[in-house]
Amino acid sequence: MDKYFFKETTQLNNNLIAFRWLFANEKNKDSLNSYLLRDVITQLRINPTNPYLLYNKTTLDLLLWTEKYERVKDPKFLLKDIKALYNVGLENWRVSQLLLNYHIIAADYYYETMRFEDRDRSLNEVKKILLQSQLNRDQTYQIAEYFIFQMRINWTIELMKPWAEKPTIDEDFLFTFLSAAIYNKKLVPEKEYLLFMQKAKTLNKERFCKLFGYPNMSFQLLKDVSVKNMYCQSCEGK
């Protein structure tokens, strides 16, 4: 059999590798990912320009890096590999998704290694990618929680506010937004915050009356007189 035959089978083998990863029952995913990465590298020796093999290799590299940061000596080389995928014929959204995942992982990696300027750069890339994306409600909520975890409250507000303004927004989303929005009066002025509070009260008054006070937001955050009066009058005796 000639080399052409083996090259033609690499796509099938790549699909089998992806199938194995997707439906694997192994509890130790790290070992599985290492095993599958070796298989992908073997296929790349036969067909080094196959875009989906290159994509799967980079995906597995990211997964392995997540489990053990020491595996990647310099993340910038991994970033270079991801960006190179824009030029191999893959759909751009696939590469952008990898790029987003890279920066999310990198932000934590740089925090752990106390490289805070690099961490800030990765977080800014996360923000740039996400704010350019068409996110649905659930994606917006998940990313908002990620921004809160990363102490990027202003980003959280910018991301959530358009959804919080929708008349049909659900209470989980709105109450999370209120917990962030109170920290920035420029992004959410007092009059606007008051309207969001009234909407939250309508959705769930019992939950609304637990918005301030341990273990939730401190009463010290109730600095705006109109907001404080509205809350206290609504929840008097609760």
Cβ atoms 158, 148 nearer than 8 A: no
Higher pLDDT, 43 or 205: 205
Q: Is the per-residue pLDDT at 11 higher than 80?
A: no
Tell whether 211 is covered by a domain: yes
Tell whether 92 is covered by a domain: no
Residue with tokens 């990647």, as numbered in its chain: 72
**Mind listing the pLDDT tens digit for each residue in 127-169?**
988 877 778 999 899 999 999 999 999 999 999 999 999 999 9
Return all residues near 55 (Cβ < 8 A) that are at least 6 apart.
85, 90, 94, 95, 98
Tell whether 185 is covered by a domain: yes
Residue with tokens 């759909």, as numbered in its chain: 91
Tell whether 81 is covered by a domain: no
**Total domains present in the chain:** 1
Q: What is the mean pLDDT of residues 118-133?
A: 88
Range of the domain at 199: 134-238
Tell whether 5 is covered by a domain: no
Q: Check residue 44 and give its pLDDT.
A: 80
Q: Is the per-residue pLDDT at 216 higher than 90?
A: no
**Mind listing the pLDDT tens digit for each residue in 70-99?**
888 889 899 999 999 999 998 888 898 899
Split at pLDDT 50, 70, 90, the class of 114 is: very high
71 membership: H or E segment, kind and range: none
Tell whether 146 is covered by a domain: yes
Split at pLDDT 50, 70, 90, the class of 174 is: very high
Q: Check residue 86 and give its pLDDT.
A: 94
Tell whether 218 is covered by a domain: yes
Say what the pTM is.
0.71
Higher pLDDT, 46 or 27: 46
Helices 190-203 and 171-181 cross at an angle (nearest 10°) of: 150
pLDDT above 90 covers a percentage of the chain that reads: 47
Tell whether 112 is covered by a domain: no
